[in-house]
Structure 1
């Protein structure tokens, strides 16, 4: 028995779950989620352009940089401009879901795979984004390995404007609707990794990327 099976088995025993009542338990949980009362939320203009602008402002407040392009085909060139301007390597790793973009035409050498410790630049998409806080919601899968956003020093994320939602509650609702079963890992990213442990001085890149760049695709 694996550690995972052992832990989940203990949880099931504590909840008195078994094959006979598992379906009933799932129905109870689904009813609790669908009938929950949400807490107060800040007032927000939820028109598409307003959501994009709020997401941009909140992301920049979290120390991310933002570029906006018209279409997804413009993404490789936009990333190439950013890397050149920042004097960063034009060699990168990207999530396999992004393998079809024409990286070579933009002068980039991009491998579609999970990240390794030597990779300096990681390019990802995101499941969706939260305008309220300037946050990316990342859902892991074989096509979207989490390491690409966590290991490299520079994380570049492609955000489709149509996937910018007002609140975090909306992001979870969308995940339940589109994914059904939640993935192995769900990560929320709000700017570069940071810590204030030493003399309450904020230091970027403490436990992950110290540079986050967002390319928002309008169309």
Structure 2
């Protein structure tokens, strides 16, 4: 190292109050990041973030109401054609809706994909989607309309709370973890915000108790 470089670094260390070759202490990030905020209403925080990201939410009292809610969504948006639903939701009473259902991933001809989220992050309004046999990843990205079933009890305050849950011995390791924050959008063309550029144009959450 040249003498001039040594002199510059010595002046920097002196200004920072450090000795030569001193070890930098790790940042006390655990003291700065709140891993749990009991006083925060997770639902209201989550709802506020969804309004920013453009995601809609519908509350259901029971998960068995999901098929009827999906059928109503199709009617309201005049959507026709087969639906792709996650195998995790296949046991719900879909036969009562009269909808054409394909269980499994989508192959591009399904206008709607219905999947189940592992968790929701209140701080960011993000949905945590685990890619596995019960929830194929294609459901999250190929259909124009992405309907997501989320349990209210699976709302988390911060992203940091997610990782210990995934490392639990009772939880199978997923093929991938996808964080979805709003529908697909871009403003690259003419500076105008367009939805559905490279994924679903709409994301609708079915929140169950």
**TM-score, length basis structure 2:** 0.79
Give the 3 Å change call, closer, same or farther, for CA 138–155 of structure 1 in structure 2. Answer: same
Candidates 26, 30, 40, aligned match of 2:33:
40
Q: Which moved more, 1:61-70 or 1:35-44?
A: 35-44
Candidates 22, 38, 45, aligned match of 1:54:
45
| Aligned match of 1:21 | none
2:129 pairs with 1:138: yes
2:101 pairs with 1:101: no
| Aligned match of 1:165 | 156
Question: Could you tell me how far apart the structure 2 residues matched to 1:46 and 1:109 are?
Answer: 44
Gaps of 5+ in 2: 1-27
**Greater Rg by CA:** 2
Q: Which moved more, 1:61-70 or 1:200-209?
A: 200-209
> How many pairs does the alignment contain?
182
Give the 3 Å change call, closer, same or farther, for CA 77–197 of structure 1 in structure 2. Answer: same
2:111 pairs with 1:120: yes
Give the 3 Å change call, closer, same or farther, for CA 90–161 of structure 1 in structure 2. Answer: farther
| Aligned match of 1:31 | none
| Aligned match of 1:78 | 69
More helix by share: 1
CA contact (8 A) 1:60 1:66 kept: no
Give runs of ≥4 in structure 1 deviating > 6 Å.
Answer: none
| Aligned match of 1:203 | 194
For residues 133-184 of structure 1, what are the alpha-carbon distances to aligned partners after superposition, in whole Å with 9 as ceiling and x for unaligned?
1110011111111001110011000010011111111122211225666422
Gaps of 5+ in 1: 1-34
Give the 3 Å change call, closer, same or farther, for CA 42–141 of structure 1 in structure 2. Answer: closer
Give the 3 Å change call, closer, same or farther, for CA 198–41 of structure 1 in structure 2. Answer: farther
CA contact (8 A) 1:46 1:166 kept: no
Three-state SS of the structure 1 residue aligned to 2:167 is helix
Three-state SS of the structure 2 residue aligned to 1:157 is strand
**TM-score, length basis structure 1:** 0.75
Give the 3 Å change call, closer, same or farther, for CA 142–181 of structure 1 in structure 2. Answer: closer
- RMSD of the alignment, in Å? 2.3
